[in-house]
Amino acid sequence: MRILRSKKGIVTLACTAVAAAVLAGTALSGLISQTIVRDSTSVHLRVVRSIAEGYDSGWHIHPGPAIVQVQEGSFQITQGTCTPVTVSAGQTFVEVPFLPVRAVAPGRVVWTTTLEGPQEDALLTPTSSPCG
């Protein structure tokens, strides 16, 4: 506990605790319900750079957020509705956990996907189309 050996350390710690309490109270005002879906100290993180020509991910889900950053070309990404959204070079799309998603690129596309999820779960699971 080296931080508690100096007056500056004690003051810094106290200010941080007070600021955190104030911000937590502000952020949670109006909160109606909150449920912890999963709380894990064992997280699987994978960053993948991909290049494809005529790509279709198929419908799938992720157990955690998936961040798709397009460097070249574009995707049509469908998630949450049955209307695809175009994500082009320089843009980022965050895929929502446990919500079916599909990405299609008719031409060349270069992208990076950052996947995060519980260590024991597969980071991608094929699923059926919610669009019928």
Domain boundaries, the chain: 1-34, 43-126
- Average the pLDDT over 93-108 and give the result: 96
Give CA–CA dist 86/93, Å, rounded: 10
Q: What is the pLDDT of residue 28?
A: 56
Say yes or no to pLDDT of 72 above 50: yes
Other Cβ atoms less than 10 A from the Cβ of 17: the count is: 10
Q: Report the share of the chain in percent with pLDDT over 90.
A: 58
With cut-offs at 50, 70 and 90, classify the pLDDT of residue 22: very low
Q: How far is CA 18 from CA 9, 10, 24, 25, 52, in A?
A: 14, 12, 10, 11, 50
Confidence of residue 68 (pLDDT cuts 50, 70, 90): very high
Query: Does domain 43-126 fall into CATH 2.60.120.10?
Result: yes
Q: Region 24-36: what's the mean pLDDT?
A: 64
Q: Residue 60 and residue 29: Cα distance in Å, rounded?
A: 35
Flag the least confident range among 9-18, 78-87, 94-103.
9-18
Cα gap 46→18, rounded to integer Å:
35
Cβ pair 75, 38 in contact under 8 A: no
For residues 79 and 126, the answer to whether their CB atoms sit within 8 Å is no
Taking 50 as the threshold, does the pLDDT of residue 45 lie above it? yes
